[in-house]
Amino acid sequence: MIINSSNFKRSLNDIKNNKFLHAVTFITIMLSILIVGTFVLFASNAGELLDSWKSGIKVIVYLENNISSSEKDRTRLEIRDFEEVEDVLYVSGEKGLEDLKNQMPRQKAIFENLKINPLPDSLEVYLKKDKKDIGVIENLAAKIEKFQSVTEVEYGKEWIGRFVKIISFSRLAAISMGAVFFMVTVFIVANTVRLALYSRKEEIEIMKLVGADDRFIKSPFYIQGILHGFTGGAGGLLLLFILFFIFSSNISHDFSSLIIKIKFISFKTLLSILFCSTLVGWLGCYISLKQFLRNT
Amino acid sequence: MSISESQPIVRMFNIYKRYEQMPALSDISIDINQGELIFITGPSGAGKTTLLKLLYMAETATAGQLLIGGVNLSRIKPSGLYLLRRKFGIIFQDFKLIPSMTVFENVAIVLEASGEKKKVIDSKVSKILRNVGIEDKKNLYPPSLSGGEQQRAAVARAVIGEPDIIIADEPTGSLDPESAKIIMDLLREFNEKGTTLIIATHSQDLIRQSRGRVIRLKKGQLVEDLL
Tally the domains of chain A: 2
Q: Which residues of chain A are within 8 Å of residue B161 when distances are taken between CB atoms?
A: 211
| Maximum Cα interatomic distance, chain A, rounded to a whole number of Å | 103
**pLDDT surpassing 80 at residue A229:** yes
**pLDDT surpassing 60 at residue A256:** no
Same domain, A165 and A81: no
State the smallest CA–CA distance between residue B44 and chain A in angstroms.
24
Contact call for residues A213 and A31 (beta carbons, < 8 A): no
Q: Does B112 touch chain A (CB under 8 A)?
A: yes
Q: Output the pLDDT for position A209.
A: 92
Same domain, A189 and A173: yes
Same domain, A198 and A98: no
Q: Does B109 touch chain A (CB under 8 A)?
A: yes
The rounded distance, in Å, linking the Cα atoms of A180 and A192 is 18
Chain Cα centroid distance, residue B104: 20
Q: Does B130 touch chain A (CB under 8 A)?
A: no
Residue where one domain finishes, among candidates A134, A154, A174: A154
Nearest residue in B to A217, CA atom: B113
- At B170-217, the pLDDT tens digits run 888 777 888 888 888 889 988 999 999 999 998 888 888 888 999 999
Same domain, A144 and A165: no
Residue where one domain finishes, among candidates A122, A154, A186: A154
Q: Output the pLDDT for position A296.
A: 65
Same domain, A45 and A66: no
Q: Output the pLDDT for position A233.
A: 94
Size of interface A-B (CB pairs under 8 A): 47
CATH at residue A119? 3.30.70.3040
Q: Does A8 touch chain B (CB under 8 A)?
A: no
Same domain, A137 and A199: no
* Mutation for A interface: B84, B94, B98, most A CBs within 10 A: B98
Domain residues for the domain of A124 are 58-154
A263: left (phi over 0), alpha (psi -120 to 50) or beta: beta
Q: Which residues of chain B are within 8 Å of residue A5 when distances are taken between CB atoms?
A: 118
The rounded distance, in Å, linking the Cα atoms of B88 and B166 is 6
Q: Does B58 touch chain A (CB under 8 A)?
A: yes
Q: Output the pLDDT for position A258.
A: 54
State the smallest CA–CA distance between residue A12 and chain B in angstroms.
12
- At A167-186, the pLDDT tens digits run 778 778 878 888 888 888 88
Q: Which residues pair with B63 in a beta bridge?
A: B16
Same domain, A165 and A277: yes
**pLDDT surpassing 80 at residue B78:** yes
Q: What is the DSSP letter of A151?
A: E
- Binary contact (A209, B96; C-beta < 8 A): yes
* Mutation for A interface: B55, B100, B111, B167, most A CBs within 10 A: B100
Contact call for residues B183 and B157 (beta carbons, < 8 A): no
Q: Which residues of chain A are within 8 Å of residue B56 when distances are taken between CB atoms?
A: 209
Q: Which residues of chain B are within 8 Å of residue A1 when distances are taken between CB atoms?
A: none
- Binary contact (A211, B98; C-beta < 8 A): no
Between A5, A13, A208, which is nearest B100 by CB? A13
* Mutation for B interface: A9, A197, A210, most B CBs within 10 A: A210
Which of A109-113, A275-279, B171-175, B205-209 reaches the highest mean pLDDT?
A: A275-279
Residue of higher predicted confidence among B6 and B48: B48
Same domain, A212 and A88: no
The rounded distance, in Å, linking the Cα atoms of B13 and B27 is 8
The DSSP code sequence of chain B is: --GGGSPEEEEEEEEEEEETTEEEEEEEEEEEETT-EEEEE-STTSSHHHHHHHHTTSS--SEEEEEETTEEGGG--GGGHHHHHTTEEEE-TT----TTS-HHHHHHHHHHHTT--HHHHHHHHHHHHHHTT-GGGTTS-GGGS-HHHHHHHHHHHHHHT--SEEEEESTTTT--HHHHHHHHHHHHHHHHTT-EEEEE-S-HHHHHHS--EEEEEETTEEEEEE-
Q: Output the pLDDT for position A6.
A: 75
Same domain, A143 and A185: no
Q: Does B53 touch chain A (CB under 8 A)?
A: no
The rounded distance, in Å, linking the Cα atoms of B203 and B222 is 18
Same domain, A233 and A150: no
Q: Does B81 touch chain A (CB under 8 A)?
A: yes
Q: How confident is the model at residue B5 (pLDDT cuts 50, 70, 90)?
A: very low
Q: Output the pLDDT for position A65.
A: 83
Same domain, A90 and A217: no
Between A14, A211, A214, which is nearest B110 by CB? A211
Order of strands across the sheet that contains B88-91: B88-91, B165-169, B196-200, B37-41, B213-218, B221-226
Cβ-proximal residues to B202 (8 Å cutoff; 6+ apart), any chain: B41, B43, B44, B170, B173
**pLDDT surpassing 70 at residue B3:** no
Q: How confident is the model at residue A108 (pLDDT cuts 50, 70, 90)?
A: confident
- At A183-208, the pLDDT tens digits run 888 888 888 788 878 888 888 899 99
- Binary contact (A206, B56; C-beta < 8 A): no
Q: Does B90 touch chain A (CB under 8 A)?
A: yes
- Binary contact (B113, A212; C-beta < 8 A): yes
Q: Output the pLDDT for position B168.
A: 94
Residue where one domain finishes, among candidates A119, A154, A189: A154
The A residues from 11 to 30 touching B (CB cutoff 8 Å) are 13-14, 17
User: Is residue A146 packed enough to be buried (19+ CB in 10 Å), middle (13-18) or exposed (0-12)?
Assistant: exposed
Lowest-pLDDT choice from A159-173, B9-23, B30-44, B163-177: A159-173
What does pLDDT average to over chain A?
84
Same domain, A167 and A148: no
Chain Cα centroid distance, residue A15: 35
Q: Over pLDDT 70: what percentage of chain B? A: 97
Q: Over pLDDT 90: what percentage of chain A? A: 21
> H or E element: which one contains A5?
helix A5-17
- At A48-82, the pLDDT tens digits run 777 777 666 788 899 988 888 889 899 999 999 99
The DSSP code sequence of A75-125 is: HHHHHHTSTTEEEEEEE-HHHHHHHHHHH-GGGHHHHHT-SS--PPPEEEE
- Binary contact (A213, B110; C-beta < 8 A): no
Contact call for residues A36 and A181 (beta carbons, < 8 A): yes
Mean pLDDT computed over A232-259: 80
